[in-house]
Chains A and B, each alone.
Chain A
C-alpha cells in the first residue's frame, strides 16, 4: 500500500523491480512539494511524457501554492493530461501499469499514485497478412499490440453490442488476453466457459496464441484437427463474430483465436463474398479437392500401383512401369524419401533469410529433383505426384501440420495394406473429426448433423438476398 512518504515509495518500487536498469525516476519539486514521475524505459513516449506530463506539472510551479493532494487532484480531475488515468493504491497495481506503458505520478504526503497512459513502445505497425492472402479483401492483418487489434475490430463493427472483456493470463508474464463477442449473438454459456478456461491457465508465461489454444480445446493431444480456429485477418474474425462466434486476442501475437470453429470453415475465405456465388462454389470444391489431394493422393497412388494395378488404364500402367523399371528403389521407399525431403525443404524455406531463399529453391527443385530423376533414384511420374501434392498443400495453409502427418500416414497405410489401409485411415480420421464439439456445436456441423439451411454455406456461399433475411448464430449448428 502507498503510505505517502515519497522516498519510501520509490525505494519500495526499486525493491520490487530489483533495481532494474530500465526503471526511470524523474524527481521534481513543485511549489515546495516533492514529486516524482516513474516510468519504464522505452515503454512510454518521451514526447508525450514531455508534453502531457512534464509541461502541465511545471506550469504549476510559480503559481498558487498547492499541497501534494492538490497537485494530485490537478492530475486526476483538473487537467486533461491523457484519457487513460488510473489511481493506484498498491505497489503491485502500480508495477503492473508501469509494465503496460503507464507513467506513475507520485506526490509526497499523498497515499496513492496516478498512472497516466502514454504508451510509446516500439511495435510493428499493421501490415498485410502473411499466411491468409486474399485478392479482393482487406490487406490488413492483426499486429502484436492487443489494443491495435481491438481497434481493427471496432472499426469494422461499429455496434454497441460488440463487447471486449480483458483479463490477464500467465503467472509471470501477466499477458493481456481479450475475449471479444457480440452480445445477443454469441452463446453466453460458451463465453463463460472460455472465461473459466482462461482463468485456469497456470503457465508462467503466455507468449502467444499457441499457449492459450490447448487450454481452450477439449482434448488437445487426442484430436487431429482443432475446434478452435486461428486467423490473422480482422475481417475474417469480424465475419465469424457476426455469425455468433467468440474471438480471443492475445497480446504479443498477430493472430486471433475463434471458437467454436467448424471443420468446413477451414475452406472458407473472405474472398468468397467478393466473387459471384457460382464461382465461390467452384473455388470451395477446388479447396476440398486440394485437401484430399494433399493428404491422400500419394497413398492412393501407392495403393493403386502396388495392390490394385488393374485400376489404372493400360497405357498409364505401362508408362508407370517403364518409369519404375529404371529406378533403384521400390516405389514405397521412393515416396517416403521424397516426402521427407519435401518436408525438410519446406521447413528450411520458412526459416531461411529471404536472400538465400531463392538459391535454396533452385538447389531443392532443380538440382535435387532433376538430378535425382536423371540418376534413376526416383522416377518422373513420382515427381509429378509429389508436385501435385505439394502445390495442393499450399492451398490450405491452416492444415499444414495435419496434412504433413496425414500424408505420411496414408503413404504407410497404402503401401502396407492397399485400399484396406487407406479406408481404415479415412474412417479413423473421420471418426476423430466427428467426435469433436465445442459449446454443444459439433465440429462436423452442418454436414453431420445435417443442417439444410446452412449447407449452402459449406459448398459455396449463400447469396446476399438470403444473407439479408437470415440471422445465423451458432445455435443453428447444434
Chain B
C-alpha cells in the first residue's frame, strides 16, 4: 500500500467537476458589452456548449496520441498552460483591484493567488479534483438560495431575444464567452488520470457530458438572470457576476457580493491549480526530469515572470485572452482534424 504512488486516479465525474469550476471562474470574469442582450448571450452560450462536444472528443483523441510525439505535445501543452495562467492571474487580480480599490493591491493579490494555487496543485490531481467536487457542492448549496433571493430584482418582461444586429451581437458574445477557452486543454491533459493511458469512449463521455450539461445550464441561468435583472443596462462594476450580487436582498445577508467574491476566488484557485497541473504534466512529457515541487515552482515562476515582463512592456495578458483562446482553439481543431485524417488514411491503406 504505497500512499505516494504516482499512479493516482480520479473518477471522470471528478474531472467534470473540476472543469465546471473553471467555467464558474470564466463566467465570473465575464464583462458584457454596453447594450448587450443577455438573453441572446444565454442562447449563444447554449450553442457554444453544444459545439464544444466534438472539440472535447477531439481533445480526448489528441490526448491518446500524445505518447507518439511527447516532446511536441508536452512543450505545446506547457506553453499554452503557462500563457493561460498568466492571462487568468492577470484578469482575476484586475477584478479584485477594481472591486476593492483601497484594500487590495494587484501585486500582493497575484503573489498570494499563485502561492495558494501552488499549494493546492501540490496536493496532486486527487486532492485538486476532490477539492473541486466538495467546493462545487458547497457553492451550489450556498448560491442557490442566494440566487433565489434575487427574485425581487428580476423583471421577466426584460427577457426578449430581439436585437437590431443579432449576428454581430452573437459573435461579440461568443468572443467574450470564449475568452477563457482552456477547458479542452485541461481536459486533454488530465484525462489520463480519469481513464488510464487510453481512456475509452465511456470514460470520455462520463467526463464530457455532465460537464457540458452543467456548462450549458449555468451559462443559461446566469445570463437569463442577468437579462431579467439588468435588461440592457450596464453595471458600474463592469463584471456581470458582481452586478448580480449587488441585486440580492436577503433576510440574513443583504447584498451577497462577499459570497460572490468567494465563488470567483475558489474558481480562480482551482482553475489555476488545474492549469499548473497541466503545465507540470506538459513539462514532464518533454522529458525534463523535475520533481513534483520543482515542476510547480518552474511553472509559477515562469508565469509570474511572463506577466511581469509583459506588464512592464505595456502588454496586459488579460487583454490578450481572446487571441490566446482563438489560437489555442485553432491548434485544437487542426490537431483533431490531422489525427482524424491520419486515422482515416491508415484505415484506407489497411
Residues of A within 8 A of B (CB): 189-190, 193, 218, 303-304, 307-308, 310-314, 417-420, 422-424, 426-428, 430-432, 434-435, 437-440, 442, 444, 447-450
Contact = CB atoms under 8 A, between A and B. Distances in A.
A302 to B, nearest CB: 11
B130 A434 contact: yes
A417 B97 CA distance: 12
Contacts of A424: 112-113, 116, 265, 269
B145 to A, nearest CB: 15
A435 B119 CA distance: 11
B134 A422 contact: no
Given A189-B1, A420-B96, A435-B123, A310 B137 contact: no
Contacts of B258: 303-304, 307-308, 311, 418-419
B120 interface: yes
Minimum-distance CB pairs A-B, first 10: A435-B127, A434-B130, A423-B265, A448-B130, A435-B123, A308-B258, A448-B133, A419-B258, A419-B261, A423-B262
A399 B16 CA distance: 32
Contacts of B204: none
B146 to A, nearest CB: 11
A430 B112 CA distance: 17
Nearest to B93: A420
B131 interface: yes
B270 interface: yes
Would you call the interface of chain B mostly helix, strand, loop, or mixed? helix
A430 B135 contact: yes
13 contacts: A218-B3, A311-B254, A311-B259, A418-B261, A419-B258, A420-B265, A426-B262, A427-B131, A431-B128, A434-B126, A434-B131, A435-B123, A449-B133
B261 A430 contact: no
Interface in B95-109: 96, 100, 103-104, 109
A428 B120 contact: yes
Contacts of B253: 311-312
B255 A310 contact: yes
Interface residues on B, range: 35 or more
Interface of B: 1, 3, 10-11, 13-14, 96, 100, 103-104, 109, 112-113, 116, 119-120, 123-124, 126-131, 133-135, 137, 246, 253-259, 261-262, 265-266, 269-270, 273
Most buried by B among A189, A190, A307, A431: A431
Nearest to A187: B1
Nearest to A427: B269
A310 B254 contact: yes
Nearest to A422: B262
A396 to B, nearest CB: 18
B123 A434 contact: yes
Contacts of A304: 258
Given A190-B1, A427-B116, A447 B123 contact: no
Contacts of B262: 419, 422-423, 426
Contacts of B112: 417, 420, 424
Contacts of B11: 449-450
B103 A449 contact: no
Contact of A419 (B119, B130, B259): B259
Contact of A431 (B103, B104, B113, B123): B123
Given A308-B257, A423-B269, A434-B134, A418 B103 contact: yes
Nearest to B135: A430
Contact of A427 (B96, B124, B270): B270
Contacts of A420: 96, 100, 104, 109, 112, 261, 265
A310 B258 CA distance: 9
A450 B136 CA distance: 13
B134 A432 contact: no
